[in-house]
Amino acid sequence: MDFTRKYDLVAVGGGIAGVAAAVAAARAGKKTALVEKTIFTGGLATTGLIYIYLPLCDGFGRQVTFGLAEELLLKSIAYGPGKIPENWRKGQDAEEKNRYRVVFSPASYIIALDEILREAGVDVWFDTLFCTSVMDGDRLAAIEIENKSGRGRLEAGVFVDCTGDADVALRAGAPCVDGDNYLTIWALVNTPTPSTRRKDDGTENLHMAILGGGPAGHNKPAGSRVYRGIDGEAVSHFVMESRRLLLDHYKKLFAEGGGHNRLNSFPITLPSMPQHRMSRHIVGQVTMTDGGYGKHVEDSIGLYADWRKSGYVWEVPYRSLLPQKVKGLLAAGRCMASEGDAWDVMRVIPAAALTGEAAGIAGSMALDRNIMPDELPVADLQKKLRESGFPLHLEDVGLKAEG
Ligand SMILES: Cc1cc2nc3c(=O)[nH]c(=O)nc-3n(C[C@H](O)[C@H](O)[C@H](O)COP(=O)(O)OP(=O)(O)OC[C@H]3O[C@@H](n4cnc5c(N)ncnc54)[C@H](O)[C@@H]3O)c2cc1C
């Protein structure tokens, strides 16, 4: 081993979940590291050019998600364009005209996320690849990483898997489940076309070409295959084919006339990570499943509302962050345990912030007590989360649970 370092908590993957987990742990006084294979913070939200911070409200004027999820939404527009809908500037529970969400500039968001990590005192390890998990019995004791300094080892009391693909959990021997993806590309482009978006919020120059399949495959190019984001060959094929989609888009645009040519219509920035929505998640001690909205969950760590339709609010179980068979590890973001419709609801930016923060707080509390995260009394965690401003149950925001 070329080097070894010791931390209290290590978050692996510097997407929104990883940033939230690391910031929460560092603010709780823990010596914290964030390991990221690129040189950017934000993951899909920034390097992936996914520039829409989905809502914190239920679609009926009621804010349901708070804490770092809201702080990171505000941060996404701190140094760039995007604006909070008028009705949400008056405070929570405003009459709902537009949902509490924003569009942001990915580059502006990266420099804002860097700042929040710096201020919290997190050690950020950029350009550092998580390679494998090192076990001590059934406990994750360390991870092996690779960067310009060679092969290294980070030891910690608690790890949070925020890789989006459950890489840490899988290599620690935790059961995981794979998901399907359809060919798609979101790219930042120069010229507005029918497939780019215009806004009145300062993002007029942020034209996005959004091409290919949606989450359930609608609009997927005819004859295109289904991709697994955890297969090396499939990842390369997905990236090559998604860029071909963009090239075909321009060829068609130029052929159609209408004044478009290479001088006024061209891509500016391409996603620098594969745009997989659902690649791999842990099998949790509990897994969120279809139809779980509107129900009381005893070990809820917060609320998240369906971003696709109004009125569907989910209580998120702590046990969905805890993998099976492996101790000393939590999962957050799109690799926490949710499947089917619940995965589609929970895989997005604000939900990644919510689960990341909860994992960072839970990990810190476990460290304080010298216990594993799965041994943490849920009532104590919930007390702490409430103190951090999290409503935990539907009743806390004036909703009623079914049954
Ligand atoms: C096409 C598409 C459209 C979407 N639309 C929206 C939308 O409009 N709004 C919305 O809110 N969400 C949307 N999403 C979902 C959302 O962007 C992501 O799911 C969310 O940002 C996930 O955050 P995360 O932190 O869990 O994971 P990620 O953003 O995937 O972050 C994982 C991080 O881990 C790093 N990493 C991975 N493996 C390793 C390793 N081995 N070593 C070190 N680092 C590693 C990655 O580089 C990355 O930075 C969309 C997703 C896609 C693909």
Note the pLDDT tens digit of each residue in 48-76: 999 999 999 999 999 999 999 999 999 99
Residue pLDDT, tens place only, 80-128: 999 999 888 766 556 677 899 999 999 999 999 999 999 999 999 999 9
- The answer on 328 and 301 residing in a single domain is yes
d(CA 246, CA 78): 30
Tokens of 360: 């960072």
- The answer on 47 and 60 residing in a single domain is yes
How high is the pLDDT of residue 323? Answer: 98
- The answer on 150 and 299 residing in a single domain is yes
Residue 258 has pLDDT above 60, yes or no: yes
Residue owning the nearest CA to atom 35 of ligand 1: 13
In which band, very low, low, confident or very high, does the pLDDT at 200 lie, cut at 50, 70 and 90? confident
- The answer on 348 and 326 residing in a single domain is yes
- The answer on 97 and 132 residing in a single domain is yes
Q: 225: domain range?
A: 181-269
Residue 274 covered by a domain: no
The pTM of this model reads 0.97
d(CA 359, CA 22): 9
**Cα–ligand 1 centroid distance for 45 (angstroms):** 6
Residue 202 has pLDDT above 70, yes or no: yes
- The answer on 251 and 239 residing in a single domain is yes
Residue 33 covered by a domain: yes
In which band, very low, low, confident or very high, does the pLDDT at 194 lie, cut at 50, 70 and 90? low
Residue 195 has pLDDT above 80, yes or no: no
Pocket test for ligand 1, best of 35, 125, 128, 163 (most atoms within 8 A of CB): 163
Q: How far is CA 343 from the centre of its chain?
A: 12
d(CA 4, CA 151): 9
Q: Compute the mean pLDDT over every residue in the chain, rounded to the nearest whole number.
A: 94
- The answer on 247 and 215 residing in a single domain is yes
Ligand 1 pocket (Cβ < 6 Å) reads 12-18, 35-38, 43-45, 48, 50, 52-54, 129-130, 162-165, 167, 184, 186, 273, 275-277, 333-334, 347-349, 352
Domain closes at, from 248, 269, 290: 269
Residue pLDDT, tens place only, 207-235: 889 999 988 888 889 889 999 888 999 99
